Every structure is written in structure tokens, then in C-alpha cells.
Amino acid sequence: MLEEVGTNTEGDLIINIGPQHPSTHGVLHLVITLHGETVKKVEPHLGYIHRSIEKMCESLSYRQFIYVTSRMDYLSSHINNHACALAVEKGLQVEVPERAQVIRVLLDELTRLASHQLWWGAMAMDVGAITPFFHAFREREMINDIMEETCGARLTMNYMVPGGVMFDLHPNFQRKVKEFVQFFRSKFDEYDELLTGNIIFQERTKGVGAISKEMAISYGCTGPVARAAGVSCDVRKLNPYEVYHKLQFDEVLQTSGDSYARYLVRMGEMKQSLSIIDQLIDNIPEGDFQAKTKAVLKLPKGEFYSMVETARGELGVYIVSEGGMTPYRIKFRSPGFSNLSALDHMARGAKIGDLVAIMGTLDLVIPDIDR
Amino acid sequence: MLSIEKITIAIQEALYANLPEFIALLAQFVLVGIFVISLFAILGLVLVFMERKVSAYMQIRVGPNRVGFKGTAQTLADTLKLVLKEGLTPDGADKFLFNLAPFIVMIGAMLLMAPIPFARNVQIWDINIGVLYISAVSSISVIGVLMAGWASNNKYSLIGAMRSGAQIVSYELSAGLSIISIVILTGSLQLSEIIASQENGWWIFKGHIPALIAFVIFIIAVTAETNRAPFDMAEAESELTAGFHTEYSGMRFALFFLAEYVNIFIACAIGATLFFGGWMPFHIGGWTEFNHMMDYIPSSIWFIGKTFFLIFVIMWFRWTFPRLRIDQLLNLEWKYLLPISLINVLLMTIIAIMGWHF
């Protein structure tokens, strides 16, 4: 094995980062070749948390398989469920009531905010600032409380069913969300003071880990990673689902493609999510929260694909149905995997400290990559 | 009024009156040794607790508050845990150097205690080249760090140690130059004389802007020299797990930990001595009444107050700033701090020659 050799023939140091390491945020294993402090090559080794979710889904009914996907990208579990529900609804030709659509979008955006907040704290930790992590968690806790009240769980919500949501909103939902939005807005300046405007942070991220628009496209990057390079790829804009086409929000784009651009995109997205929540929270239509569906769902024979914008990028759900009670084959296109594949390109020539900062801005969630 | 000065002088007189001179000297050595070791332990406990409370305050947490009165015994409990832990030595490690390294770091910190004036006339060794001694001895700890990194037979440790070496060697220049600018003003390397020269005002006020610049550079440089964030390249938790002491556990790890805190204390004590008059109360030249009022506060309180204020500032850095990258760290030193310090020393010399300072 490489780790026993230690150096390669050119005398470069070969280091294993992970699978247990403070900055890999999970069981990611990177084999990096170092020339002094400079990274020459990054080789991600995957599979430490592979649970064969795609295979498991093949033996679960169309109602059940949705909840397994919460465990993929656990930070945007609600959005994962959403993508699966959309694919099933496409097959069933079910019209989702408008109330359910609005609830789904609201919770999507709250999930996105929670995910970005965690990313913000973890990213700060990666560049060596520990305090922001706790500040981010203070806000994230409020979202988790809202989720707990409405969905019954804090992390893996399992709130989606084909045809709508599992149950109606909690009576406190609107008040609590408004409180949260107001509180979070007031804390945004603090975020900027702690990190965005900090000269050390800017020095650490500006011009580091840059990826061009062309390379971002060819690596299949999506989400904030691609948008930081100037690729317009927001599924909510390009291929709107639910009520996104009625909403006013901007796709946050940057052009430089470096770590700082990725940081700014995510910060901008948090503001856009807040504005989406603002637009919807007072306009939740009355009506059913769930469409009438049969007890046992059977998708017609064929192939169904749906995609959504998770906090990390484009999540695609591809279902092949033979007409039975369970899917014949399921494939998830997870954003983390393609974003990770660009890491080698970004990190070559950077310092080892930069590699960690780049990984932080990629916002990797390992169970999403391994599935 | 009770002061440490009276106690130490009383002890000394009692020793010399009742014992032959040689034995009295020996007894003094023993007493000083006990003093240094107990100060080491107390500083470790107090500073670790202080850091945990300061960080908790900045991170909207409560911090340790269960063990003992308001959590004050938390560090004692942690120490107990570390003492009971097994001190592992990795298989491929150079056993001798691996075990030696923490002690070298520790001894470096202990030696630095000698010339620090803790209160009026309370000083272990009033050496006439005090400042030079401090600059020289404070470099010893880097040998221990390099040794630890090399002997661990761990690549993370090695990278951490090499970083630490580059960093301490570079930042010593700035620290030295900013100390020299005060030496130029006082014309003496002896710490007691440097303090005596601040009788009618501290150098940070008397020395105009160059003294202020020197102080800022000094604080930055000692933060780097003690391997504290934002310059904690040698540890760099998110990159190198724990840097040079990745492989250390138990009491040997605790020694590194302790030495870090004692080094901070010493660095801040030196900063307080050079720029804020050490134990010298806040005096304004010519205001005799005011100065008398200030003298009522014991000198040890002044010293501890100033030192802990500087320690708080350094802790504040740690819990606010992100970490620099190694090349940026060296750039900062060689491209900015060093030229600025050189010019600053020149300015200070002009001020000293022309007698422009107060």
C-alpha cells in the first residue's frame, strides 16, 4: 500500500488525509502527493460509507424508498425526498395541491439555509477560525426546532409523500419562521464581520482553487461550485419545479471560480433563500396538503427522471419502472460526486492548507458521494 | 501593606542570618526551584481555565462550570486524566528523542522565568543582559518542537515541525528588533533598569509612535513564536490533525500543552515589562500626588494585571481570526514586519539621540 512506502520515486511525500481526519467532514480518504508543502496530486478514495442505497431502493415500494434517500445528503434530506417524490409523481401523473407545493418549497429553502449555515461554520473551521462554527449553529438550531415541530425530526425529516406532504403545517410554523428570518437577517452582518471581511480569510481564499467555466462544465460541477465559475445551472431557474416559477429570486453568479467566489455564492444564496421564504410565508394557500393517491403505488412501465437543486447542486433521480410495486432500477445523480472529482484539478499547485480550504468550499457530504 | 517584596526580603534575611552563606544560597536555589515549578503548575491551571472561559464567552457558550466552584477545578480534573493516561511511543519512533523533546520545550519555558520581574524587587535573577538572555533562551523551544516532529516518525508531525522551525526562526527577528527599540531608549539590557526608566511614564506612551509600532509588531511576533492562532501552523488542526505533537499522549502531551501556556505568559510578561512598565504603577511625569495614589496598588497586582490583559488580547486573536497559510506567514514576516521593524529601529534611534522622548 502507498501509506507504507511514504515517498514516491521522485522523493515526494505521499500522505493519507483521512478516512479519519478533522477536515474531511466524514470518511473521505484523500491520498495526496506533496512536494514540500505544495500539493502535486490529489486522489480521492471512496467507498468507506457506501450503503448501496440505490440497490436497497429496488426492493422498497415507491412510498418507502423516499425515506432512504434522507441518508444520502443528510444536510439537505428534505430536498432529496423532494426529488424522489417528484419522480414518482411524474410517473403517477398526480397533480400536487398548491398548498403542498408551497410547503415543500418553504421547507426546501429552510433546509438549504440550514445546510449553508453548517457549511459556513465548517468552512471557517477549515481555514482555522473556530468561533464562527458556534455562531452558525445558533441559527441552525432555530431551523432544526422548526423542522422538529412540523416534521417530527430534526435532520432526516421524511416529510414528503408522493402527492404532497405527510401532514399539515404546525400552527406555530409561520410565527417561528418569521422570527427566525428576522433574527438571521440581523446576524448576517456578524457573519460578514467574522469571516467575509476578514483580511486573512480573503488572503486564504482569493485566487485559490480556481476552476474555469469550461473545466467546471466538463467535470460536471453543479450548484455553487459551478455558479462560482460563471456557469448558470440553478435548476430552480432553468427547469422550475413546484412554485419556483412564480417566485422572484436571483441566481447568484460569480466569475472567478476560486474559493472566495464559491464562498460568496453560498452567502448570496442564503440571502435569496431568505427572500423566497419572505415571499411565501404569508401566502400559503388554503386547501389540501396531499393529493389523493392509491394505497399501493404502481408506476407505469417506463423511465422517469426528476431533478432538483439541493444545497450542493443538482440532484437527479432516475427511475426505471417495469410496472411493478417497486422500482426496477434507481440511479441518483449526486452533486457531491462530480464536485469532488474537480478537487484534483483545483488543488494542484496549491499548498496543503489551501487543499483543506478548497475542500471546505466544495461543501462535501461524504454519504452523498458514496451513497 | 503586604507585598511580595517584603516576604522575599524577610525570607532572604532569615536565611542568611541563621545559616552559613553556602547553605543559605543552596536553600535559596531550592526555594526558587519550588517557586518556579509551582508557578508552572498554577499558570497552567489558570491559563487553561481562562482560555476555556474566554473562548466560551466568544462562542456564546458557558464553558466549564461543573467541576469545583464554577468549573475552576476542570483543569485539575483534566490534568488528572492526562497523568493517568498511557504515554504511547510509536513503533518507528526514535525513542530517546521522542521522550526527550517535551522536556526540552518545558526547560526552555522554565529558564525564561528567571529574569522576569514579578513585582518590585522580586526577580529570580537580575542578569545584566536580561533582554539578550530572553531572546536567546526563547529559541531553545524550537529545538524541542523539531525533535518531536522528527522523532515521531509521522508525516504530519514532520510537516508541522518544519513549519514551526521556519516560523520561529523568522519571527524571532521581528520580536528581537522590537525589543531592541526599547533597549535603545533605555540604554540598558537589564530588565530592572528598563522598568526603572519607566518611572515617569510607560514606554508605550513616552516613546511616541515608534514605540506603538514596536509593541504591535512585538505582539504579532510573540503570537507567532508561541505557535498560537492565527499563526498555529505547527499544529494546524484542520490540516495536520495536531501537527508536531500528533503522536504524543498522556503526560508528555500535557508538557507540550503546559509549555505553550507558560510561553504565552512569559511572552506577555516581557511585553508588559518592556512597553507597560512591568510592575511599575501608572505614573505620569510631574503629577506627584497622582503617582502616590497609584503606588498604593501593590506592584505585583500591576504586573499581573498588565500581563493578563496581554494574554487576553492573544486569546482574543486566537478565537477570532482564521489561520494564515505557511507562505503567507513567511511573507508577512520577511516582506512587511521585518522592513517595518528595521525602519522603526532607525526612527527610535533618532528619537533617542535627539532626546525627543519624554
- Give me the mean pLDDT over the B117-144 stretch: 83
- Give me the mean pLDDT over the A55-69 stretch: 87
Q: Which residue of B has its CA nearest to A23?
A: B238
Give the pLDDT score at A207.
Answer: 84
* CB within 8 Å of B80: residues ≥ 6 apart: none
pLDDT digits (tens, 9 = 90+) for B99-118: 888 888 888 888 888 888 88
> Is omega for the bond preceding A300 within 30 degrees of 0, making it cis?
no
Percent of chain A with pLDDT over 90: 1
- Give the confidence band of A1 by pLDDT, cuts at 50, 70, 90: very low
Least confident of A98-107, A134-143, B324-333, B348-357: B348-357
Average pLDDT, chain A: 86
pLDDT digits (tens, 9 = 90+) for B10-38: 887 888 888 788 888 888 888 888 888 88
Contact A198 B322 (CB under 8 A): yes
Percent of chain B with pLDDT over 90: 1
Give the pLDDT score at A5.
Answer: 52
Contact A127 B323 (CB under 8 A): yes
Local structure of A44: helix, strand or coil: strand
In chain B, what residues touch A121 (CB-CB under 8 Å)?
Answer: none
Tell me, what amino acid is at A162?
P
Whether the predicted pLDDT of A3 surpasses 50: no
Give the pLDDT score at B120.
Answer: 78
Contact B321 A21 (CB under 8 A): no
**Which H/E stretch holds residue A206?**
none
Does any CB of chain B come closer than 8 Å to the CB of residue A127?
yes
- Give me the mean pLDDT over the A264-289 stretch: 88
Contact A195 B60 (CB under 8 A): no
Give the pLDDT score at A296.
Answer: 82
Tell me, what amino acid is at B144?
G
The 8 Å CB, 24+ separation contacts for B6-10 are B8/B121, B8/B122, B9/B121
Contact A128 B61 (CB under 8 A): no
Specify the CATH number for A53-370; select among 1.10.260.40, 1.10.3720.10, 3.40.50.150, 1.10.645.10: 1.10.645.10
Whether the predicted pLDDT of A95 surpasses 80: yes
Q: Which residue of B has its CA nearest to A21?
A: B241
How is residue B322 annotated by DSSP? P
Give the Cβ contact number of residue B124 at 10 Å. 15
Local structure of B92: helix, strand or coil: coil
Give the pLDDT score at A362.
Answer: 86
Give the pLDDT score at B37.
Answer: 85
Region class of B13: left (phi > 0), else alpha (psi between -120 and 50), else beta: alpha
A-interface mutation test, from B323, B328, B336, most A Cβ less than 10 A away: B323
In chain A, what residues touch B241 (CB-CB under 8 Å)?
Answer: 21-22
Could you tell me the end-to-end alpha-carbon distance of chain A, in angstroms, rounded to an integer?
Answer: 25
Residues of B at the A interface, defined by Cβ within 8 angstroms: 55, 58-61, 155-156, 159, 163, 229-230, 232, 236-241, 319-328
* Residues composing chain A: 371
Cell numbers that stand for A51 in this block: 450503503
B-interface mutation test, from A33, A200, A206, most B Cβ less than 10 A away: A200
- Closest CB to B323: pick one of A34, A128, A133: A128
Give the pLDDT score at B2.
Answer: 58
Give the pLDDT score at A2.
Answer: 42
Does any CB of chain B come closer than 8 Å to the CB of residue A284?
no
Give the pLDDT score at B63.
Answer: 83
Window 31-70 of A: residues touching B by CB (8 A cutoff) are 34, 37
pLDDT digits (tens, 9 = 90+) for A163-182: 888 888 888 888 889 899 99
Q: Which residue of B has its CA nearest to A5?
A: B155
B-interface mutation test, from A5, A14, A123, A134, most B Cβ less than 10 A away: A134
Smallest CA–CA separation between B60 and chain A, in Å? Answer: 7
- Give the confidence band of B328 by pLDDT, cuts at 50, 70, 90: confident
Least confident of A2-16, A114-128, B37-51, B194-208: A2-16
What's the sign of the alpha-carbon dihedral B166, B332, A198, A42? negative
In chain B, what residues touch A204 (CB-CB under 8 Å)?
Answer: 322-325, 328
Give the pLDDT score at B317.
Answer: 86
- Closest CB to A129: pick one of B155, B321, B328: B321
Contact assessment for residue B323 and residue B230, using Cβ atoms and an 8 Å cutoff: yes
Average pLDDT, chain B: 84
- Give me the mean pLDDT over the A131-156 stretch: 88
Nearest CA to A257 among A209, A220, A218? A209
- Give me the mean pLDDT over the A238-246 stretch: 86
Cell numbers that stand for A179 in this block: 422570527
Residue boundaries of the structural domains of chain A: 53-370
B-interface mutation test, from A42, A131, A183, A195, most B Cβ less than 10 A away: A131
Give the pLDDT score at A195.
Answer: 85
Q: How far apart are CA A199 and CA A369, in angstroms?
A: 33
Smallest CA–CA separation between B117 and chain A, in Å? Answer: 35
pLDDT digits (tens, 9 = 90+) for B154-211: 888 888 888 888 888 888 888 888 888 888 888 888 888 888 888 777 877 777 788 8
Percent of chain B with pLDDT over 70: 98
- Give me the mean pLDDT over the B246-260 stretch: 84
Give the Cβ contact number of residue B327 at 10 Å. 14
* CB within 8 Å of A302: residues ≥ 6 apart: A91, A320, A321
Contact assessment for residue B48 and residue B75, using Cβ atoms and an 8 Å cutoff: yes
What's the complex ipTM? 0.80
- Three-state secondary structure string covering A54-97: HHHHCCCCCCCHHHHHHHCCHHHHHHHHHHHHHHHHHHHCCCCC
Instruction: Specify which of A7-11, A25-29, A201-205 reaches the highest per-range mean pLDDT.
Output: A201-205
